[in-house]
Amino acid sequence: MLRKKTNGVARRPQRTSILSEVAKTSVDRRGFLRGSGLAIGGLAAIAATGGTVQQASAATAATGNTEIKKSVCTHCSVGCTVIAEVQNGVWTGQEPGWDSPFNLGAHCAKGASVREHAHGERRLKYPMKKVAGEWVRVSWEEAINEIGDQMMSIREESGPDSVYWLGSAKHNNEQAYLFRKFAGYWGTNNVDHQARICHSTTVAGVANTWGYGAMTNSYNDIHNSRAIFIIGGNPAEAHPVSLQHVLKAKEQNNAPLIVCDPRFTRTAAHADEFVRMRPGSDVALVWGLLWHIFENEWEDKEFIRTRVWGMDQIREEVAKWNPEETERVTGVPGSQLERVARTLANNRPGTVIWCMGGTQHTTGNNNTRAYCILQLALGNMGTEGGGTNIFRGHDNVQGATDLGVLSHTLPGYYGLSKGSWQHWTRVWGEDFDWLNAQFTKMKGADGKDKDLMYETGIPVSRWIDGVLEDAENMDQPNKVRAMVLWGHAPNSQTRMVEMKKAMEMLDMLVVIDPYPTVSAVLHERTDGVYLLPACTQFETEGSVTASNRSIQWRQKVVDPIFESKTDHEIIGRFAKKFGFHDRMFRNIAIEDDGVTPNIEDTTREFNRGMWTVGYTGQTPERLKTHMANQHTFDRTTLRALGGPADGDYYGLPWPCWGTADIKHPGSPNLYNINLPVKDGGLPFRARYGVERNGENLLAEGVSNPGADIQDGYPEFTYQMLVDLGWDGDLTEEEKRSIATVAGIQMAEAMEGDPSAEPNGLSEGDGTQGAAEEVGEQSMSPFPSDFNAKAGGVNWKTDLSGGIQRVAIKHGCAPYGNAKARTVVWTFPDPVPVHREPLYTNRRDLVEDYPTYEDRKFYRLPTMYASIQKQDFSQDYPIILTSGRLVEYEGGGDETRSNPWLAELQQDMFIEINTRDANNLGVRDGAMCWVEGPEGGKVKVMAMVTERVGEGVAFMPFHFGGHFQGEDLRSRYPEGADPIVLGESTNTAQTYGYDSVTQMQETKATLCKIMPA
């Protein structure tokens, strides 16, 4: 990867490596595993250093009936291609994809061993339930019937919100879409997934700054960066293959790499400058940097004038953060920050990369907005080599977020307003009134009628409070009584002591996963627990969205293994049980089993509704063409140079505007006004109105090349086309479709529009959703009568795509051309400010930088000041933070069950600074107790190291299966216990939730450490 290539195309045979040597010989499966296990260990070691797999000999394709299938690694958002070799239906060998622009023949330890993830012998093999404390095998029919019957009686007694459907970033896009749709048909917004606890603060912060809540550029585009600033991220372990792109910029451009982190990570080991910061002081650190930038006038004044609103208010806040104050709060010397600021100013464009070190805080949304503002001040946005490269976690956490597996949005970030639901019921061909009747109506605490269809549900971070909190304190009629954990590791969540209690209080706990997960063993239930074996993504086909918004298509590698079933089949089975299968899949073909929805038809259905984020042009056919022709895409720009996808960007990174017919190539770098919109360029999005306090929020005199409006402009509506005289560019068919959406002249419109068949739609003009699409409902910037007329049908609700097409024809972005905003007036802190964590040992800072007042949102009371006012620092003096390891992923059940990975990392541990360890009497390698201020404690091995600073301790978060010193191995179903068990850091981790999204705080709490 670091070698110079002549034409940007990797020159390496597609099928290489030791594995093909193994695959070509005839060995039994165990023999094969033994042989390739050695190889994998080698690969893991190489990849951990950012290297690549070397060819052991000339490519020797396996002979005989070997089939080659192309899939995508399921362990992180880099999206590395996996080449699977299948013999007689058995996955016998694997190699990294050499043609993939993302991994170029590299894999990390996890990717190199995904074959074992699918064929793993520790998977759940058949449905089970707990009876009198024993796991008992049941059939799928029994399981669905029993679970379904109990859910329906809970629904009858307590309402649909008493069943919580917790989905997953492990769904592919089609399954994620169906999951959210399914929750709507059940009648609840109590649906969510891991994005809530990994990047929800990114989505809210970033979307509210410039329009979309996603990574703006790509891993590959980092090749163009002149400086790389990583804060709160450790890609060397969390996204290992991404590091090859970072190191390429470092080598090719001499780009300085700056890593800000409380811990000297494996990423920091590559850095030119390591900035050790106090956990939880991100805003102070960024403001400290900006202090030098403003002081020395290093900001990009022209960029700010034309494309940024509110920077003067930021200057006022930043003025407080002189080097002395910054050092007092962050612990970083002023001289170092001055040097970093100068480096960033002298090496533009630079990119900013962050991950969960920045997001998982009570002030996470402040942190993410501060990072964005740094890039805006430097003028580093909308340019190759710049941007905010936000590395997502799980393989499809971007897609599952986009497809709306969230308690506050529908697919495409459409909000929960009536208009949004009407948009989707139009796409589904559903009777809006029928769907609405599925939801509960109740009197709120304020005495007003509430329709829970329009109210945010409980976020996953708080589901335990949905069980434990008194019902009268909640904005739903009753507690959560049944919990479905579908592809979710509970040990990735904080407050596990309370979680155990919540699991024990439930009427029923349903776990749907390839592995039993910690949900199977954390509690002491003797019945009312079901384990349903789900397929991995290697047992189905479908699309998956990488962190850079590119969508890749996975081929099915093998048929479902054991008795496992795909997520979409399981959704189909529940839909049948609940009686809405025919309604839910009326536009989607059903497979021969009469239950399972067809994947490609599902893609096509969401293509018809996902206008907001441009998931409309990525048909299965286009995505498959890209996968089959990966070698034709440039490794830096991601654009196809000739071939069948000529001109497209790899994976059609969203937004890919309009219908597939207009052949939009995708948008590789968001907000780039140096490219025409038809070629993937875009301005900042007009999401927050056109003016604020009399000031213009639209761009000043800049727009994309070829735009017929050479200035800022609002988002496109039909009325705007009329005003501009462009409505004549709409086809007759498009005009009829717009009329149907607007609810006018239905009968006439139906004559020529097959999509406008009678569907029971009886009210609403369908345009209200325009105002409330992305992220938080509170950020709706538009006046209430904005969409009151037919002319308000806009680029998001027009089902024909005509408005988008015409806007682009005239060189304009469908969503308008605005300034980015640095001040989010709808958030608790409009200007990002530093606030001390709830559990802080810097009592001297609490008065100056207090947390929020307690308040209620997302249906639940949420504590802030009532915790922070208590001083725990005497008894719990050490700051506790957490993070990832290269060998494991998420809660770790899959990867700890993988023998090749398990061998590499066998013990849960805590990193303790040498001085602290010596003072505490803790020896390296000895066991110690770590206790959090809420009383949760874990018994783990000490790693005494200088990687953490004095007064800070670090634990990885992938372990589970031990609880407060007890080994729970005997509670797993026989043969399904992960190879490696260990304490979860989250048993000791504490309360604390972001003020906008309810993200959990895992990066800055307190603990005490004692020899065990």
User: What is the DSSP code (8-state) at residue 983?
Assistant: E
Closest separation in Å from C-beta 771 to ligand SF4: 37
* Nearest distance from C-beta of residue 895 to ligand SF4, angstroms: 9
Strand order of the β-sheet with 961-963 is 966-967, 961-963, 982-983
Number of neighbours of residue 645 by Cβ within 10 angstroms: 24
Least separation in angstroms between CB 83 and ligand SF4? 12
Strand order in the sheet with 81-87: 67-72, 81-87, 90-96
Question: What binding mask, one character per residue, do residues 254-293 give for ligand SF4 by CB under 6 A, x or -?
Answer: ----------------------------------------
- Does an H or E element contain 38, and which? helix 29-48
Taking the complex as a whole, how short is the minimal distance between the CB of residue 100 and ligand SF4, in angstroms? 9
Binding segment (CB under 6 A) for ligand SF4, from list 233-241, 854-862, 872-880, 908-916: 233-241
Distances (CA, A) of 329 to 115, 320, 332, 715, 843: 47, 12, 8, 42, 11
Which is nearer to ligand SF4, 605 or 887 (by Cβ)?
887
Beta carbon of residue 241, minimum distance to ligand SF4 (angstroms, whole number): 4
Q: Which CB sits closer to ligand SF4, 184 or 890?
A: 890
We find the least distance from the C-beta atom of residue 562 to ligand SF4, in angstroms, to be 24
Size, binding site for ligand SF4 by CB under 6 A: 14
What six digits make up the tokens of 321? 């953060």
Instruction: Give residues 51-110 in contact with ligand SF4 (rule: CB under 6 A).
Output: 73, 75-76, 78-80, 103, 107-108, 110
3-state DSSP call for residue 739? helix
**Measured from the CB atom, is 538 or 795 closer to ligand SF4?**
538
Query: How far is 990 from 970, CA to CA, in rounded Å?
Result: 27
* Site residues (CB under 6 A) for ligand SF4, limited to 594-633: none
3-state secondary structure 255-267: CCEEEEECECCCC
CB of 15 to ligand SF4, least distance (A): 17
User: What is the spatial distance between Cα 272 and Cα 709, in angstroms, rounded to a whole number?
Assistant: 44
Tokens read off for 184:
């709507």
Comparison of 391 and 782: residue with beta carbon closer to ligand SF4:
391
Task: Give the N- to C-terminal CA distance of the chain in Å, as an integer.
Answer: 46
Strands 952-956 and 927-931: unpaired
Residue 83, strand partner residues? 70, 95
- Which residue has the closest beta carbon to ligand SF4? 111
What are the distances in angstroms from CA 612 to CA 209, 407, 601, 616, 977? 17, 18, 20, 9, 43
CA angle 441–446–451, rounded 5-degree value: 20
> In whole angstroms, how close is the CB of 544 to ligand SF4 at the nearest point?
10
Nearer to ligand SF4 (CB atom), residue 103 or residue 267: 103
Nearer to ligand SF4 (CB atom), residue 239 or residue 958: 239
Q: How far is the CB of 557 from ligand SF4 (least distance, A)?
A: 15
> Which residue number, 700 or 903, has a Cβ lying nearer to ligand SF4?
903
Which is nearer to ligand SF4, 194 or 990 (by Cβ)? 194
Nearest Cα to Cα of residue 246 among 340, 344, 351: 351
Report the nearest approach of ligand SF4 to the CB of residue 545 (Å): 13
Q: Of the two residues 633 and 839, which places its CB atom closer to ligand SF4 in the complex?
A: 633
Smallest gap from Cβ 401 to ligand SF4, in A, equals 17
Beta carbon nearer to ligand SF4, 40 or 707: 40
Instruction: Pick between residue 285 and residue 397 the one whose CB is nearest to ligand SF4.
Output: 397
- φ, ψ of residue 257 in degrees (nearest 5): -110, 120
Q: Residue 47 Cβ, how far from ligand SF4 at the closest point, in Å?
A: 7
C-beta of 77: minimal distance to ligand SF4 in Å? 7
Half-sphere exposure of residue 699: CA atoms within 13 angstroms, side-chain side? 28
Phi/psi of residue 349, each to 5°?
-80, 145
What is the footprint of ligand SF4 within residues 237-256 (CB under 6 A)?
A: 239-241
Phi, psi of 684 (to 5 degrees): -70, 155
Least distance to ligand SF4, CB of residue 107, Å: 4
Does 111 help bind ligand SF4 (rule: CB under 6 A)? yes
**Nearer to ligand SF4 (CB atom), residue 75 or residue 481:** 75
DSSP strands (E only) in 97-234:
128-131, 134-137, 163-166, 191-192, 227-231
Binding status of residue 885 toward ligand SF4 by CB under 6 A? no
Q: How far is the CB of 73 from ligand SF4 (least distance, A)?
A: 3
Shortest separation between residue 489's beta carbon and ligand SF4, angstroms:
16
Q: Which is nearer to ligand SF4, 103 or 175 (CB)?
A: 103
- CA–CA distance, 545 with 527 (Å, rounded to integer): 38
Q: Report in angstroms the alpha-carbon separations of 57 from 11, 12, 15, 41.
A: 15, 12, 10, 18
CA 828 to chain centre: 23
Q: Taking CB under 6 A as the rule, does residue 215 contact ligand SF4?
A: no
Closest distance between ligand SF4 and the C-beta of residue 110, in Å? 4
Query: By the 8 A CB rule, do 668 and 217 touch?
Result: yes
User: What gap in Å lies between CA 382 and CA 417, rounded to an integer?
Assistant: 31
Return the bridge partners of 90, or none: 87
Identify which range of 235-243, 349-357, 448-456, 1004-1012 contacts ligand SF4 by CB under 6 A: 235-243
| Distance set, CA 833 to CA 280, 304, 366, 582, 1006 (Å) | 12, 21, 7, 51, 22
CB neighbour class for 757 (10 Å; exposed up to 12, middle 13-18, buried from 19):
exposed
Phi, psi of 510 (to 5 degrees): -120, 125
* Closer residue to ligand SF4 (CB): 105 or 769: 105
* 8 Å CB contact between 678 and 666: no
Q: Of 765 and 889, which CB lies nearer to ligand SF4 in the complex structure?
A: 889
Q: In the complex with ligand SF4, which residue's Cβ is closer, 241 or 831?
A: 241
Toward ligand SF4, which CB reaches closer, 103 or 780? 103
Residue 243 CB, shortest distance to ligand SF4, in Å, is: 9
DSSP states along 394-430: STTHHHHHHTT-SSS--GGG--SSHHHHHHHHHHHT-
If the CB atoms of residues 544 and 702 are measured against ligand SF4, the closer one turns out to be 544
Q: Exposure string (b/e) for 914-947, b if CB count within 10 Å is 16 or more?
A: eebbeebebeeeeebbbbbbbebbbbbbbbbbeb
Binding site for ligand SF4 (CB under 6 A): 73, 75-76, 78-80, 103, 107-108, 110-111, 239-241
